Amino acid sequence: MSEGILFVLSAPSGAGKTTLSNLVMDHFQALTPSISYTTRKARPGECNGVEYRFIDHAEFERMVNAGEFAEHADVHGNRYGTSKADLDALLTSGKDVLMDIDVQGAAQIRSSRKGGIYIFIVPPSMEVCEERLRARGAEDEESIQRRLEGARNEIKEAESYDYIIINDKLELAAETLRSVIVAEHAGGERVFNKVEEIFQLN
């Protein structure tokens, strides 16, 4: 069985990355989220093992020291990381994986793995980003300010991504993200390897 495709999605907080991920996830049977580990407290409605695996600082540190993370980073005062074992198991089972990670984590994955597809989501403006953060109602004022301060620096990193999607009209942005996923399934070496297998070309 051929490996799945790794899609790495980054965005400043409030751009709509979670909303878009959920919208496209329903459309592709083989697409699965990678569930990160975090020291952040669960928001109301979040469940351990669904949005994140919520762990304490000591356990996070243990995993770092044991080399269990494919990438990890401090983001807005909390720690987040992706388990190497979980990621490898999903990809080798043929699943496509959608990773929702920050720009530091994406850079670590880019330098350690081949073949990932990097997608950056931007809000239509900083004002809209702030409105969305406030409308979500999940953060206190200090956390909102920290996220907004980080946004401009994160957006600078969009240059190194394969695709940039401006999330203005939600359905249009979701359609664009779905199109990227569909197009990557028809792209280059990955597909040719499959064709070689089918037609026994080597």
Per CB under 6 A, residues contacting ligand 5GP are: 13, 36, 40, 71, 73, 75-76, 80-82, 100-102, 104-105
**Can you tell me whether residue 105 is helix, strand or coil?**
helix
Binding site partner of 123, from ligand ADP, ligand 5GP, none, Cβ cut-off 5-8 A by kind: none
16 is a contact residue toward ligand ADP (CB under 6 A): yes
- Name, in order, each residue with C-beta under 8 angstroms of 144's C-beta and a sequence gap of 6 or more: 130, 133, 134
Spatial distance between the Cα atoms of 71 and 112, rounded to a whole number of angstroms: 9
User: Min. distance of Cβ 109 from ligand ADP in angstroms?
Assistant: 18
Judged by CB under 6 A, the residue of 17, 72, 79, 95 near ligand ADP is: 17
Q: Give every strand in the sheet of 36-38, ordered side by side.
A: 52-54, 36-38, 78-83, 69-75
Contact flag: residue 170 with ligand ADP (CB under 6 A)? yes
Q: Which of ligand 5GP, ligand ADP, none is residue 15 near (CB under 5 to 8 Å by kind)?
A: ligand ADP
Least separation in angstroms between residue 32's CB and ligand ADP is 18
Order of all β-strands in the sheet with 6-10 = 31-33, 96-100, 6-10, 117-122, 163-166
Binding status of residue 44 toward ligand ADP by CB under 6 A: no
For residue 59, give the H/E element and its range: helix 57-65
Contacts with ligand ADP, residue ranges (CB under 6 A)? 11, 13-19, 132, 135-136, 167, 170, 173
